[in-house]
Structure 1
């Protein structure tokens, strides 16, 4: 695109986008001054520890540091947070336990029940004397600029910054989104995908979860099967150093300096006087009973000790693999997240156990797995990912579907696709609100167990028992309005965990999706732990998601054709797959298979006679209720293939 055309489009966008006039530098300074002048300094606590609440999770950090000093070697405690309710309770408890500082990073921060709830706790921590810094990626984090203006002046101990704001605004409307794609494509797609909650520099939580109801089992229709890891110990120093690099980067902009937030401050001569005015202290929370239940759990130190802290695994070496914001300026190093993860994977000798919501590999990753597959000691690669019925990213799945032959035949993957109604999933169904519907709207009476502190019930991380089939496949009807219509109604679950186990010697949990976006556009982070007990616990959780009741197996389609016809079909399919944009060959190499229980049957790999005897094909897109699903998916596959680098 020529400079003249780009300039013309930028001018047109400026004229067409309502309310998008930029502020001058003097106006921005005035807005910042108004916010700073409004910040109160008074504290609600006069104790040196900022009235921190007792916390067995926070105590893990002190214990780890003491043991590190005594042993002159790193000592940590690691806890997998599988249930959304556990992850939320742990966050609230740690925020309330903070004595000095809290750092928060997130890709998404929604203005819903969980978002308001956590933000209210962060503000309360600032008011009692804790330094709170919140850094959010701008793209999907601010809807209400008045709320951002209020937070800009809420307290001297609280600061909000937004990373890489589009057109220097906190909120991106439809027209700005389109203009960003056209005018600033690469910059627009460079997002901060990191997630972190770090308390006092000694206890951190990272993983797949953003701040939105569906990450904490609070959505009645669609929730994520996700995973966080709580790590306590000296690795907190590396986490804080990485946060500081982002916080100090020019792309991290103070909220008051953004044009739409600044206009709010200038128009009202400062931020709203009280948080009640913008709904933070008395928000329109749909389910206040859930908030009260989490607060009670977060303040019950003894229950937390038994339900979560007691199951933290003592470990030694912990590495924090993290990108720096310089990645977006072309300053990548061999120490960044993608390079670090690929180095670990390529060193595998026996097995790579990979879990990702989006099975779309970058060019570098495909080359790496091809090299590994050619080795005499090629490791087994087992993949847990989403089915079309479970995903909320339909175009990404379409692209993944395009390369199934490559993954199975050339890279040697064994692929398991997550079902939308898994029978054994770490989801607190009572918390979703789906069971609050009138009984006549349910297919059968629910039998959902309460999952408070559920992820810690199995000491080694093994499944804590199957969830009732009626819970997921029968309650509620709203799930039919999910990403794609399904044949059954219920509380739909989509996989969002990003984890890796290599040779049963190192376990990794983080934000990296092992896809082109994570490699080339997003900044990412991950925790790598070298400990047998932790690796066993993480492996058990991923293997839970591979079980027949939770996933379909993707394998080569069996056709009753002559060898000549079969070879022709295979080669034509391979040819179409190689085309950069179009892949309309109607007969796919692979399809999905369902396990059929029987006296002589057991789960088996696809290349065995037992598999052919005990599994039945269920189509390319099981459970999806779209009459023209094959055509629809292939159309998106054809046009989505060219978007591989950013999907």
Structure 2
């Protein structure tokens, strides 16, 4: 053997051994991920949980010791006054997070026979623990409680799921569409599932519902997590739910039953990880609820029992309406070979938009439209009498999913020019948002009047609800290239200054101020093709005006920037536009650096007493450009956003 050959052979041997070890590790991981329970073991684990369930009761009354509730009373009144020909409903728009949590707890306590809860996310934090404790209390006083969570976003503790499986005979829990027959999966297991079972992995239950006694319900955008109820001290969602009482609750009950009885809804005890724990250790005790801010949870419990307070904050705002529809995809969507053909929510919302005569108001956190939706809006814009389309969505500074924003950024020209959208992007620190700042527990500095800065800067400005001179040092490693392989890729971007931030999460629609819609659909490709979605459609002009006023508050200059075409360059503007348009249509390599549109801030003055739309001839006299990504620390986020704009078009169907 030559002196040069020995090292080469040695390197080959080392490479072969490394490849072998990698292959063995991958095989072991694959076998571990694919391990399952036998049918006999699954039955045995289920039986262990069932045998452990307590039948102790805290109440012997026929009404299960239900707490009097003005919200529950609205349902009785609506059902008594309704006829098949003239239904009667009462609705309450729940804009504030604390009101949404108050309504839920109050209604749970008012239940006399049944509670059905369906959700995409259920987090083990203060809000999640509080609601779970109320559900268990309801079960112990004699109410049948059924909880259905999407598996990928359900409670993260296998021990907690095992404990809840054997908690009480009146408490029933299922997980929807469990990947690899597990309650929880690791990131390596997630990668294996993506490789072997892509369609199943993406078929998620995005439907959200809380139904009390088949009579009154809450549905909308909120999941069960602190961020949705103004209980986070760093980031909260500006979201919207609708409380509706009346006959439409029967349709909701039937839809929930379809999900509950579907083969994809599985008790945790029949899943590999929970089942093995039950087989080896029996049913563990449920860990006591420990709150990060116990005084806040105690205050919410007290408020939920205050009938007068609940009436003043919620029931007194109820609106009497007539026809109400509940539209849901149902689990059958996941049986279809072509899911979009069975997307009842998408089809219903599309039909409403196409019927508009004067105005469409659309609110969505992620402005990433499916191809059918783009075609529909293009046809709408091409009509001689095209209605105005107003879109409320997130800015990069406000969003919790910057990859989705990057794709929205890519298609701004199309949205503005081809579809005629008036786009308003929500600010991270809105001045006039329906948020309970004290409930967040965040540091709240004193408000200080400050003049509007002449250009984007790192100084606090009047667009902030927290005009603080404190700056948070961004974590450079948090937004490195490898970050996009981890869960943090769907988290807010770092900003130039500190403060409790808000991001848009509401999903609503208003047609001609005559029909109002509150639901779960983001008007995106996932909603068309993968997620099950639902919506409440209220055919009432007064309700539609109320919902429109709520959205107009969100798009006011205090709360949103306006997106409009940037000033044309002095030379070769037509060439730049043409190259940008061609680059935008490329499926992968959209590398043209100049974008058609940018963000604008309203500058009030003697000649600009009130905001005007971006297509008004006087727009540029009343608005000044503030850059593509106002408030964002571009040193960390500008490049990744542009990279995903350039290369991320293929991700649109799943974002």
TM-score (norm 1): 0.90
Check conservation: 2:402, 2:492, Cα contact below 8 A.
Answer: yes
Show the counterpart of 1:29: 43
Show the counterpart of 1:547: 556
Show the counterpart of 2:580: 573
Measured in 2, the distance between the counterparts of 1:102 and 1:329 equals: 27
Check conservation: 2:343, 2:529, Cα contact below 8 A.
Answer: no
Residues 129-171 of structure 1 deviation map (CA, whole Å, 9 limit, x = unaligned): 0000000000011210000000001011111000011101111
Show the counterpart of 2:546: 537
Shift of the 212–478 alpha-carbon distance from structure 1 to 2, 3 Å rule, reads: farther
Bigger Rg over Cα: 2
Measured in 2, the distance between the counterparts of 1:476 and 1:113 equals: 27
Aligned-residue offset at 1:630:
3.8
Within 5 Å, give how 1:78-157 maps onto structure 2. Answer: 78-157=91-170
Residues 323-351 of structure 1 deviation map (CA, whole Å, 9 limit, x = unaligned): 01111111756671111110111111110
Aligned-residue offset at 1:199:
0.2
Measured in 1, the distance between the counterparts of 2:364 and 2:177 equals: 26
Show the counterpart of 2:17: none
Unaligned 5+ residue runs, structure 1?
Answer: 1-7, 436-441, 448-467
RMSD: 2.1
Aligned-residue offset at 1:10:
13
Measured in 2, the distance between the counterparts of 1:479 and 1:353 equals: 38
* Residues 155-164 or 474-483, more deviating: 474-483
Shift of the 112–10 alpha-carbon distance from structure 1 to 2, 3 Å rule, reads: farther
Check conservation: 1:9, 1:183, Cα contact below 8 A.
Answer: no
Within 5 Å, give how 1:390-539 maps onto structure 2. Answer: 390-435=398-443, 444=446, 471-474=465-468, 483-539=492-548
Aligned-residue offset at 1:296:
1.1
Matched, 1:285 2:288: no
Show the counterpart of 2:648: 640
Measured in 2, the distance between the counterparts of 1:431 and 1:125 equals: 26
Matched, 1:603 2:611: yes
Shift of the 476–306 alpha-carbon distance from structure 1 to 2, 3 Å rule, reads: farther
- The 3-state SS of whatever aligns with 1:487 is coil
Unaligned 5+ residue runs, structure 2?
Answer: 1-21, 450-461, 476-490
Measured in 2, the distance between the counterparts of 1:150 and 1:641 equals: 43
Measured in 2, the distance between the counterparts of 1:514 and 1:252 equals: 25
The counterpart of 1:55, out of the listed 69, 80, 88, is 69
- The 3-state SS of whatever aligns with 1:54 is coil
Shift of the 185–46 alpha-carbon distance from structure 1 to 2, 3 Å rule, reads: same
TM-score (norm 2): 0.89
For this pair of structures, how many residues does the alignment match? 604
Shift of the 84–632 alpha-carbon distance from structure 1 to 2, 3 Å rule, reads: same
Within 5 Å, give how 1:263-278 maps onto structure 2. Answer: 263-268=276-281, 270-272=282-284, 274-275=285-286
Measured in 2, the distance between the counterparts of 1:644 and 1:445 equals: 40
Shift of the 469–397 alpha-carbon distance from structure 1 to 2, 3 Å rule, reads: closer
Aligned-residue offset at 1:307:
1.7
Check conservation: 1:246, 1:324, Cα contact below 8 A.
Answer: yes
Measured in 1, the distance between the counterparts of 2:579 and 2:343 equals: 41
Within 5 Å, give how 1:584-623 maps onto structure 2. Answer: 584-601=591-608, 602-623=610-631
Shift of the 397–86 alpha-carbon distance from structure 1 to 2, 3 Å rule, reads: same
* Residues 547-556 or 622-631, more deviating: 622-631
Measured in 1, the distance between the counterparts of 2:78 and 2:24 equals: 54
Check conservation: 1:79, 1:311, Cα contact below 8 A.
Answer: yes
Aligned-residue offset at 1:48:
0.4
Show the counterpart of 1:316: 322
Shift of the 83–479 alpha-carbon distance from structure 1 to 2, 3 Å rule, reads: farther
The counterpart of 2:394, out of the listed 365, 371, 386, is 386
* Residues 289-298 or 632-641, more deviating: 632-641
Show the counterpart of 1:465: none
The counterpart of 2:195, out of the listed 182, 194, 199, is 182
Measured in 2, the distance between the counterparts of 1:9 and 1:86 equals: 54
Aligned-residue offset at 1:567:
0.9
Aligned-residue offset at 1:559:
2.3
Show the counterpart of 2:8: none
Measured in 2, the distance between the counterparts of 1:249 and 1:474 equals: 51
Off by >4 Å, runs of 4+ in structure 1? 8-14, 16-20, 331-335, 468-471, 475-482
Measured in 1, the distance between the counterparts of 2:35 and 2:104 equals: 38
